[in-house]
Amino acid sequence: MAKSAKKKRSRAGKRRRVGGDPILTVRPIDHDRLVAAVREVLIALGEDPDREGLLDTPDRVARMYEEVFSGLSEDPARHLEPIFHEGYDEMIALRDIAFYSMCEHHLLPFTGRAHIAYVPNGRIIGISKLARIVEDFARRPQVQERLTSQIADLLMDGLGAKGVAVVIEASHACMTIRGVKKPGSEMVTSAVRGLFKRNPATRNEVLSFLQQRL
């Protein structure tokens, strides 16, 4: 008992927080452990993990998890290297950033589009970096609400922006293939910071702009 508790502690000890990000870890994903766990799931389901069709499944699923959770060891702040443009203080927006993520409650995918707008305060980043930031945060066990606010907070704090607005529209496999089984339904979340938060008229304007259908 004491031995296993100690073992657990030393494993947890390897987990190191990076920066202010409470989720980011530099602990590498344990491939062999994932393979063994997926094999266990198959056995628990009453399947034969050694039959031909399932033989490579644990390894395949482990590699898939390594890919879809690769954001656990990536620091999205690395995309913030700013380009300085003293004069520009108008809104910059990027709409329809496609992403996929994994719901942390069911380990099922949720996929959709993120829309981002910010008003810089002398520092801007390349527009493609916005998509990279979304991707890093999405490739973790996530909930849509947190994904939305993490993107907003990083741009607000990391760039010192005057205002940030993020809208995410996504459909969740855990809503469509199980539970209430409502295919076609989309969840919409938004996060506003700075001047978009302070001024209700500006907030409504940016939120409807971001959700506009072309």
- 79, 103, 115, 142: which is the annotated catalytic residue? 103
Burial of 144 (0-12, 13-18, 19+ CB in 10 A): buried
**29 versus 187: smaller Cβ distance to Zn ion:** 187
172 classed as catalytic:
yes
**Which backbone phi and psi does 153 adopt, to 5 degrees?**
-65, -40
For residues 189 and 145, give the distance between their C-alpha atoms in angstroms, rounded to a whole number. Answer: 6
Tell me how far CA of residue 151 lies from CA of 65, 81, 124, 135, in angstroms. Answer: 22, 15, 15, 10
211 classed as catalytic:
no
| Cβ–Cβ under 8 Å, residues 34 and 69 | no
How many C-beta atoms surround the C-beta of residue 32 within 10 A?
Answer: 10
Least Å distance, CB 168 to Zn ion, is 15
**144 versus 202: smaller Cβ distance to Zn ion:** 144
- 115, 142, 144, 150: which is the annotated catalytic residue? 144
Least Å distance, CB 184 to Zn ion, is 17
106 classed as catalytic:
yes
Least Å distance, CB 106 to Zn ion, is 4
104 classed as catalytic:
yes
Least Å distance, CB 148 to Zn ion, is 15
**18 versus 174: smaller Cβ distance to Zn ion:** 174
- 106, 169, 186, 211: which is the annotated catalytic residue? 106
Q: How far is CA 68 from the centre of its chain?
A: 10
* Interface contacts to Zn ion, rule CB under 5 A: 103, 105-106, 174
103 classed as catalytic:
yes
105 classed as catalytic:
yes
**127 versus 177: smaller Cβ distance to Zn ion:** 177
Classify 56 in phi/psi space as left (phi over 0), alpha (psi -120 to 50) or beta: alpha
174 classed as catalytic:
yes
**Catalytic positions:** 103-106, 144, 172, 174
